[in-house]
Amino acid sequence: VAKESTQLSAWYSDAQEASRLSHLSLLSDLRAAVQNDELQMWLQPKIRFNDHSCYGFEALVRWQHPQRGFISPAEFIPFAERTGYINHVTDWMLKQALQTLASWQHAYPQLSIAVNVSTKDLRDQSFPERVHQLLQQYQVKPENLQLELTESGIMENPGNAIPLLQSLRNIGIGLSIDDFGTGHSSLAYLQKLPVTELKIDRSFVINIDQQASTQRLVKTIIEMGHGLNLHVIAEGIETEAERDTLISLGCDSMQGYFASKPLHGAGLQNWLIHLADS
């Protein structure tokens, strides 16, 4: 506790005392949430355009706080990153994903789960070894696991990130560049990244059917991705018109509310049952 308190006071000025105190209690709450399994893993389907099949899911963390109610990951993930607690959250999500994949091994061996990895995780040279160890512990094939790394996170320190990505790729895990188009990666670097998927950021998808210039840009991104042998998926597709436009531009797959919101519990079970039907 003492170590984390010191770390936190370095982050917040006196003027932010109130916020600091509330963040201190948030940190102990987050620690409790991880320990008591108060977090939840929700899964959002990824759908291939060519055969309309669901080939996997993105894992999204949810936190239902006993007093504060639902806390969005957009709020607590950056907080967890600042306080250095993010690696525990990543570890928790990896275990959840692997446990789920292990339980699907017979009924749904084709499905993959993609776990979001933070920039902070990429600084930890032992991260690939940790993932490898967990895969063995849960007896899951590496090709069923995918990791999503943001373009800006990779580009923050490509010299560190690239060898680490290579180690993960050598294990056989799929690697996706998340939020693509927002992180200023140069073409020279893109070619060096040992990744398997490119995920077009939602900011390009919103109303793409009405924007000719965005369509030209996204078409170029898709062609470039294919030129590098990458699977190209678009995130945040909400309408039929957005989906149809992305199909016409040659995109491979989609994720978004139009296909399905993130699922959990009965909603997820229902989705899986229908998968078996089709």
Is the separation of the CB atoms in 177 and 195 below 8 Å?
yes
Q: Which long-range contacts (CB under 8 A, 24 or more apart) does 222-226 make?
A: 222/249, 222/250, 222/251, 223/250, 224/187, 224/190, 225/198, 226/250
Is the separation of the CB atoms in 76 and 67 below 8 Å?
no
Min separation Cβ 15 and ligand C2E, Å: 28
Is the separation of the CB atoms in 124 and 84 below 8 Å?
no
Min separation Cβ 14 and Ca ion, Å: 35
Tokens 């320190």 -> residue: 157
Closer Cβ to ligand C2E, 112 or 116, answer by number: 116
Surface-to-core class of residue 115, CB atoms within 10 Å of its CB (0-12 exposed, 13-18 middle, 19+ buried): buried
Interaction of residue 47 with ligand C2E, rule CB under 6 A: no
One character per residue 197-236, x = contact with ligand C2E (rule: CB under 6 A): --------------------------------------xx
Interaction of residue 256 with ligand C2E, rule CB under 6 A: yes
Count the neighbouring beta carbons within 10 Å of the beta carbon of residue 61: 21
Min separation Cβ 32 and Ca ion, Å: 26
Phi, psi of 44, rounded to the nearest 5 degrees = -105, 125
Stretch that binds Ca ion, among 92-100, 105-113, 145-153, 208-216 (CB under 5 A): 145-153
Closer Cβ to ligand C2E, 149 or 249, answer by number: 149
What's the CA gap between 85 and 273, in Å, rounded?
Answer: 36
Number of residues that bind ligand C2E (CB under 6 A): 20
Closer Cβ to ligand C2E, 20 or 259, answer by number: 259
Closer Cβ to ligand C2E, 66 or 78, answer by number: 78
Q: Which of residues 61-90 bind ligand C2E (CB under 6 A)?
A: 61, 72-74, 77, 89
- For ligand C2E, the binding residues (CB under 6 A) are 44, 60-61, 72-74, 77, 89, 93, 116, 118, 178-179, 235-238, 256-257, 262
